[in-house]
Amino acid sequence: MNDEIVYGRNSVGELLKADKPINKILFQSEGTGTHYQELIELARNKRVPFQFVEKSALDRLTGHAKHQGVLAYVAPREYAEVEDILNSARSKGEDPFILVLDEIEDPHNLGALIRTVDAVGAHGVIIPKRRSVGLTATVSKTSAGAVEHVLVVRVTNLVQTLEELKKEGCWIAGAEAGGTEAFSLDLTGPRVLVIGSEGKGISRLVRETCDVMVSLPMKGKINSLNASVAGSVLLYEVLRQRQFKG
């Protein structure tokens, strides 16, 4: 799978109208027109992330092609819905086991975590639309193909999504230093694991939505782990407890 760049007002407009999986749209910051404004409004209504850049940036990205001031990064595969993840768990007769990533921006971390999600048999991954890497070629490569087998959902509001998962009976555990040691907690049952961003960790509102904060014991000089490493260890702890209980 490769990242696809689509440019031109009509081409990008058709992608938006067809609800194709778009990671981000770049609009030229200089000069506007009626059609241009219509695309901006359409992107806003479709909740597709967009930003304004200099014309020179669009020229460089398109090889100086006639881009008409707009360029879209198209995801290499379709995103799923939260209900798809829940249905996957139901179809297997299993309690939901979901990974939520709060503003993970490194595609290598996302790819590595998707690979682990597939390995432990979790039912899917949820990421936010903004301030987060989406499905890209780098993510696909890092996942070693697991992205083809794991349901990935992009949502506008993580807090609202977590609240909806609570109504489905899921228990939300956020990973954060200073939390209760994960190895001493019961992580079985309908479970959502939240991993925060590489630098800031879990955002305040998401943290306040979690039912419990969990951590890993740190015996060395370094007091933190890479997001994909910490997430993978916790995912395997959930799997271990599930297998032991089963």
- pLDDT tens string 132-162: 888 887 888 888 888 888 999 999 899 999 9
Domain co-membership, 97 together with 153: yes
Q: How far apart are CA 207 and CA 102, in angstroms?
A: 10
H or E, element range at 111: helix 107-120
Which of the 8 DSSP states describes residue 170?
P
Half-sphere exposure of 110 (CA within 13 A, CB side): 29
Tell me the β-bridge partners of 126. 100, 153
Q: Is the pLDDT of residue 130 over 60?
A: yes
Q: How far apart are CA 207 and CA 201, in angstroms?
A: 9
Domain co-membership, 88 together with 69: no
Range with the largest mean pLDDT of 30-44, 45-59, 203-217: 203-217
Cα of first residue to Cα of last residue in the chain, in angstroms, is 37
Q: Which one of 23, 56, 74 terminates a domain?
A: 74
Domain co-membership, 107 together with 58: no
Q: Is the pLDDT of residue 1 over 60?
A: no
CATH code of the domain in which 54 resides = 3.30.1330.30
Q: Which one of 74, 92, 115 terminates a domain?
A: 74
∠242-219-104 over CA atoms, to 5°?
60
pTM to 2 decimal places: 0.79
Domain co-membership, 116 together with 169: yes
Tens digit of each residue's pLDDT (9 = 90 or more) over 64-120: 888 888 998 887 778 899 999 999 999 999 999 999 999 898 989 999 999 999 999
Domain co-membership, 93 together with 186: yes
Domain co-membership, 8 together with 126: no
CATH code of the domain in which 155 resides = 3.40.1280.10
Domain co-membership, 68 together with 112: no
Domain co-membership, 131 together with 240: yes
Q: What is the tally of structural domains in the chain?
A: 2
Domain co-membership, 60 together with 87: no
235 in Cβ contact with 193 (< 8 Å):
yes
Among candidates 28, 26, 22, which has minimal Cα distance to 3?
A: 22
In a 3-state reduction of DSSP, which class is residue 17?
Answer: helix
Domain co-membership, 220 together with 154: yes
Q: Is the pLDDT of residue 2 over 70?
A: no
Domain co-membership, 197 together with 240: yes
Q: How far apart are CA 214 and CA 74, in angstroms?
A: 35
Q: What is the domain range of residue 45?
A: 4-74
Amino acid in the structure at residue 178: G
Q: Which one of 25, 53, 74 terminates a domain?
A: 74
pLDDT of residue 33: 61
Domain co-membership, 42 together with 139: no
